[in-house]
Amino acid sequence: MDFKAVKGTRDFYPDQMRVRNWIAEAWRRASLRNGFEEYDSPIFEYLDLFTAKSGQEIAGQLFGFTDRGGRRLAIRPEITPSLARMVNARINSLPRPIKWFSLPRLCRAENPQRGRLREFFQWNVDVIGADSILADAECIYVAVDALGELGLSADDVCVRIGSRPLTVAALRAAGVPAELTGPALAVLDKRPRLSDEDFGKLAADAGLTEGQIAAVGRFQEASSLGELRSHFHDCDEVKADLDDLAELFATLEAMGAGDYCALDLRVVRGLAYYTGVVYEVFDRSQALRAVAGGGRYDNLLEVLGGPKVGATGFGMGDVVLGILLAEKGKLPDLSPRIEYFVIEATEELRPKVLEVVGALRRAGLSADFNYRPQSIGKQLKAANRRGAARAVIVRADGVSIKDLASGAQRDRALEEFLRAPAGAEHMQ
């Protein structure tokens, strides 16, 4: 039988694992230096948690199953509902604002395509218990901070920022009835990935008229806050949301992330729970799917049985990011490295080799050796293949420590080396 990995999943051989870890470590460092703490949740939950407020799109992508007790469960397609559930359970004892991050493995039953798989990792950064737009700005800042550390500049990626309440106001102003707001937002979210013809069909199916589509289109074209203000004629109803956007951009500018950010009202977001500013990170040429997406969701905790507490955050997947980093040549040389490779001059010296290997490892240094007896030349080749910085050649009368990059070599007595193996690092 020929067993293959399931479509849309990935095997991580060590070379792919090194890339995955390199990205995850940058995510973790950026989170910690911005004052966020790590959490995690179970990989499966009661199915209802994910159907309560995330919207049709995600509900249709669930890997659901029934356990032996007849409970309806699902593998997590996102971590935000689990985060809301966890925070709700301890809402009175957690000091606010709650600044948490996570690196969950998620599953969505999507049609696998470039940048979208059925299993992926997604860095999540959220602030809960803060209504201030500063919390939204800080989340965007963390995303930019990590992208910068990974080598992506403002010429490579852009955070495109829109607003749910302003989009809803534009739909209302265009005469779209309130009960069609949800379906209209879902269609607008898909618009950038559709031809005009397909979008027109979907919009008509959602009940929008051509006039309404055109009016919302004019709103979405606004490319500055000034244009946006004049679109709404400074109407009072949207004043707070316009001010929020202005403060968000001013804050991002002050934090030094302004170059990475742009107003883009075509960003609507697919998930149903967003209530405030929304954003997606794209490569500048917009050739790929979104690298990240997020926004404010002030009702989710309440919908899931908790109090009304403001929340905001984003998720960044590893798939599009990995493609972009590879395309831009930003992946560093991640070939495996060890500090020492220990070589036996003759087979009888094997017990001493094991002693040296043990002493190095106990001193916290990485060390490896060959299982099979081989000539010194072959063992040196193996040391190079393993990316060793130094070789220790164990001879009957002592050890030679060879720096494999420079070729410099130094001899020491075996006892002396065993007493202080770490000192061997300093070649003269």
Q: Closest approach of Cβ 271 to ligand HAM, in Å?
A: 6
348-374: b (≥16 Cβ within 10 Å) or e: ebeebbebbbebbeebebebbbbeeee
Shortest reach from residue 296's CB to ligand HAM, in Å: 8
* Rounded (5°) CA angle 142-55-118: 70
Q: Where does this chain touch ligand HAM (CB under 6 A) — which range of 143-151, 311-319, 376-384, 391-399?
A: 311-319
Q: How far is the CB of 58 from ligand HAM (least distance, A)?
A: 7
Q: Among residues 55 and 421, whose Cβ is nearest to ligand HAM?
A: 55
For the record, the structure tokens of 79 come out as: 């971590």
CA dihedral defined by 18, 261, 160, 86, rounded to 10 degrees?
60
Which secondary structure element, helix H or strand E, spans residue 321, and what is its range? helix 318-327
- Give the whole-angstrom CA distance, residue 408 versus residue 285: 49
Instruction: Choose, by CB under 6 A, the member of 313, 341, 394, 414 that binds ligand HAM.
Output: 313
Q: What stretch of H or E contains 201?
A: helix 196-205
Closest separation between CB of residue 416 and ligand HAM, Å? 54
Binding to ligand HAM (CB under 6 A) within 69-98 occurs at 78, 80
Minimum distance, C-beta of residue 116 to ligand HAM, in the bound complex (Å): 4
What is d(CA 224, CA 264) in angstroms, rounded to the nearest whole number?
Answer: 9
Piece of 68-76, 127-135, 286-294, 342-350 that binds ligand HAM (CB under 6 A): 286-294
Nearer to ligand HAM, 124 or 251 (CB): 124
Binding string, residues 102-141; x marks residues near ligand HAM by CB under 6 A: ------x-x-----xx--x-x-x-x---------------
Of residues 319-378, those binding ligand HAM (CB under 6 A): 319-320
Contacts of 112 (CB under 8 A, 6+ apart): 7, 8, 118
Member of 290, 343, 356, 401 binding ligand HAM (CB under 6 A): 290
Nearer of residues 148 and 322 to ligand HAM, judged by Cβ: 322
What's the CA gap between 112 and 134, in Å, rounded? 36
The one segment of 25-33, 154-162, 292-300, 361-369 that binds ligand HAM by CB under 6 A? 292-300
Question: What are the residues facing 61 on neighbouring strands?
Answer: none
Given 314, 340, 341, 417, the residue binding ligand HAM (CB under 6 A): 314
Question: Least distance (Å) from ligand HAM to the CB of residue 27?
Answer: 12
E-assigned strands of 156-197?
157-163
Residue closer to ligand HAM by CB (options 281, 383) is 281
Q: What whole-number distance in Å separates Cα of residue 25 and Cα of residue 67?
A: 35
> Which of 293, 310, 322, 421 is the binder for ligand HAM (CB under 6 A)?
293
Q: Of these, 315, 341, 345, 379, which contacts ligand HAM (CB under 6 A)?
A: 315
Is 148 near ligand HAM (CB under 6 A)? no
**Burial label, 10 (beta-carbon count in 10 A; 0-12, 13-18, 19+):** middle
Q: Which residues contact 253 (CB under 8 A, 6 or more apart)?
A: none
Q: Taking the mean position of all CA atoms in its chain, how far away is CA 373?
A: 45
Unique residue bearing structure tokens 């199915």 = 47
Q: Which residue is nearest to ligand HAM (CB)?
A: 317
The residues of the shown chain that bind ligand HAM, judged by CB under 6 A, are 78, 80, 108, 110, 116-117, 120, 122, 124, 126, 271, 290-294, 297, 313-317, 319-320
